[in-house]
Chain A
Amino acid sequence: MITAAVTERENYLNVSHGLKSWLLTKDHKRIGLLYLFTITLFFFLGGAFATLIRIELLTPQGGLVSSETYNKLFTMHGVAMIFFFLIPSIPATLGNFFLPMMIGARDLAFPRINLLSWYLLVIGGLFGLFAMLAGGVDTGWTFYTPYSTTYSNSWVIATALGIFVAGFSSILTGLNFIVTVHRMRAPGMTWFRLPLFVWANYATSLIQVLGTPVLAVTIVLLFSERVFHIGIFDPALGGDPVLFQHLFWFYSHPAVYIMVLPAMGVLSELVSTFSRKPIFGYKLVAFSSVAIAVLGFLVWGHHLFVSTQSVYAGMVFSFLSYFVAIPSAIKVFNWTATLYKGSISYATPMLYAFGFIGLFTIGGLTGLFVASLGIDVHVTDTYFVVAHFHYIMVGGTIMAYLGGLHYWWPKITGRMYPELWARLSAMVIFLGFNFTFFPQFILGYLGMPRRYHVYPPEFQVLHVMSTLGASVLAVGYAIPMVYFVWSLRYGKLAPDNPWGATGLEWKTPSPPPPHNFDRIPIVEHEAYDYSTVVGEVMEVG
């Protein structure tokens, strides 16, 4: 029984009190928690829209909402989930919290810019929220012209403004991470001793700084077109609506790698710790993160296959799109090889990791289907694509995010979550997820278009199955909300290293002190060197 004396030890949570100490903090750990709070709100907002969508799709005739309202529902679901939840998620919460600790630094390079990043997300989110409450936006999260610039009567500008501001949040976080990793590694922490989570966030940051500005200028042009009719996307004035699509997807395709790369970084940590083995092929995994970041910028035209993009460009983009699968596959093979002859534990984070590996693989393989120009002509704008990206973003990213949250929860809060309930909800989520989204592959292949709420009756069975799955999934997501909060008060007090993991973050107390390290450590071991944690007991269950 750990005594009260230990819990009074000064840590980043109790070093100061009051709202101001949080809202004006420069501590990357507190900022990570501010982000955690914010993105969780947006997750449930996006989830609320998803709930309405799935209920509407129970019957072929719709009837719960009008078509106009349905357009708003899927738009706002996408906007909330992508821009205000997924894009920030792992980097701004787990990345913010642990990147400095993992490299042996006291904070990020620019702590006040870090705080500014959070405020920008909040402000952007408020604009988006305002738009949603004031009547919503109905253009799809992709804002294609000319509907968004000329014909839509919804809150396009307010939403776009929110995304614009949130984009700068993302850019500044990326900038901060890049400078931090380059300039603030502890002595002895060479690039190839970095945890793979750092490599993943670094690669993500490259995408953030190179891609997001293009989204920003696209929004400026969208705004100018809508307000001033400058003609840049208007055929009547000589403009081309497809130019918008090129500009939009130049960011939005790499954006999906912003969403998945950090998740892959989490996976490397989880697979190593819960196999108690170094990641197989460390350098390959590290380089594959950078390769994904680079290659991800070369494929955006595969979103324009059925537009008036020339077929020659289509062929180029289709060809390039196959290559981006390779580094992802390398990671999956390396995680699998890590498991081989490992000492495997089935703690909750590992359950999420297994879920990721299976579901991301399915999502990724179906990505090859849609990369094929010929097949995509058939399945584009159908539920096949919807299922493809949900397998990666929900079955992949969100699972990894939950796995990471559970894994690092003891370090963040000083408390253990209840293992039994956690494993239960992981399994409920896995089950619910597959029932929600697998039928959608079939639906899409059979021709069910996306963004439609009225459909032929023969699709109803699959839709009902999907909605039932979504209900189960919702329950699965709700349970951790309850026990995480519960654990803050009643959870077992956590030791410094409950998992017997390597990594500098596990050398600090749980929760960590305000400045992470009293003295900057000197690193003398390779990453994932389990000889340094011999005898550290694995705490499971």
Chain B
Amino acid sequence: MTEHTEHIDSAKTYILVFLCLIGLTLLTTAVAFVNLGDFSVVAALTIAVCKMLLVALFFMHVRHSTKLTKLVLAGALVWLGILILLTLTDFATRGLGGVPGR
């Protein structure tokens, strides 16, 4: 199984992706000045994830890569998710139920 190196993206594609990234950067900066309450962090992270996907899919060629590469990347994100989410089962539930020290 080889990496799909025959497919060489055009410079135009890369520049287009770059412009999207700049746009999203400006967007996230602007949105930060708008009061979205709790949704602010969701918006910021969503935009960041979009930027990450653009860099990964286009600049890192994940778009053309093997299933294994995609699995490796997805796996890492899942593992990061496990680290944060399972730890939050502790930090987000302390004091729930009103029992002291629990």
Interface residues of chain A, those whose CB is within 8 Å of chain B, are: 182, 210, 214, 242, 246, 250, 297-298, 300-301, 304, 308-313, 316-317
Residue B87 interfacial (CB < 8 Å): yes
Interface membership of chain B positions 86-97, coded 1 if the CB is closer than 8 angstroms to chain A and 0 otherwise = 110111011110
Residues of A contacting B99 in the complex (Cβ-Cβ under 8 angstroms): 311
Given contacts A246-B87, A301-B90, A304-B90, contact A312 B82 (CB under 8 A): no
Residue B12 interfacial (CB < 8 Å): no
Cross-chain pairs A/B with CB under 8 angstroms, 6 sampled: A297-B79, A300-B86, A310-B90, A310-B91, A317-B86, A317-B89
| Cβ contact within 8 Å between B93 and A312 | yes
Residues of B contacting A242 in the complex (Cβ-Cβ under 8 angstroms): 90
| Cβ contact within 8 Å between B82 and A308 | no
| Cβ contact within 8 Å between A313 and B79 | no
Residues of A contacting B93 in the complex (Cβ-Cβ under 8 angstroms): 310, 312-313
A103 to chain B, nearest CB (A): 16
| Cβ contact within 8 Å between B90 and A309 | yes
Cα distance, A300 to B101, chains bound together (Å): 20
Given contacts A308-B94, A310-B93, contact A214 B68 (CB under 8 A): no
With A214-B83, A304-B90 already in contact, 13 other A-B pairs whose C-beta atoms are closer than 8 Å: A210-B79, A250-B83, A308-B101, A310-B90, A310-B91, A310-B93, A311-B99, A312-B93, A312-B102, A313-B90, A313-B93, A316-B86, A317-B86
Give the total number of A-B pairs whose CB atoms are below 8 A apart: 43
| Cβ contact within 8 Å between B79 and A311 | no
Cα distance, A313 to B86, chains bound together (Å): 8
Q: How large is the interface on B (under 10, 10 to 19, 20 to 34, 35 or more residues)?
A: 10 to 19
Residues of B contacting A250 in the complex (Cβ-Cβ under 8 angstroms): 83, 87
Which residues of B (45-102) have their CB < 8 Å from a CB of A?
Answer: 68, 75-76, 79, 82-83, 86-87, 89-91, 93-96, 99, 101-102
| Cβ contact within 8 Å between B83 and A301 | no
Residues of B contacting A182 in the complex (Cβ-Cβ under 8 angstroms): 68
| B89, B96, B99, B101 pick with most chain A CB within 10 angstroms | B89
| Cβ contact within 8 Å between A310 and B102 | yes
Cα distance, A308 to B90, chains bound together (Å): 9
Residues of A contacting B82 in the complex (Cβ-Cβ under 8 angstroms): 297-298
| Cβ contact within 8 Å between B79 and A246 | no
Residues of A contacting B90 in the complex (Cβ-Cβ under 8 angstroms): 242, 246, 301, 304, 309-310, 313
- Using CB atoms, name the residue of chain B closest to A211: B79
| Cβ contact within 8 Å between B86 and A301 | yes
| A182, A311, A317 pick with most chain B CB within 10 angstroms | A311
B63 to chain A, nearest CB (A): 21
Cα distance, A124 to B43, chains bound together (Å): 43
Residues of A contacting B76 in the complex (Cβ-Cβ under 8 angstroms): 210
Q: Give which listed residue, A210, A214, A308, A313, contacts B89 with CB less than 8 A.
A: A313
Given contacts A210-B79, A214-B83, A250-B83, contact A312 B68 (CB under 8 A): no
Cα distance, A338 to B81, chains bound together (Å): 39
B73 to chain A, nearest CB (A): 13
Residues of A contacting B95 in the complex (Cβ-Cβ under 8 angstroms): 310
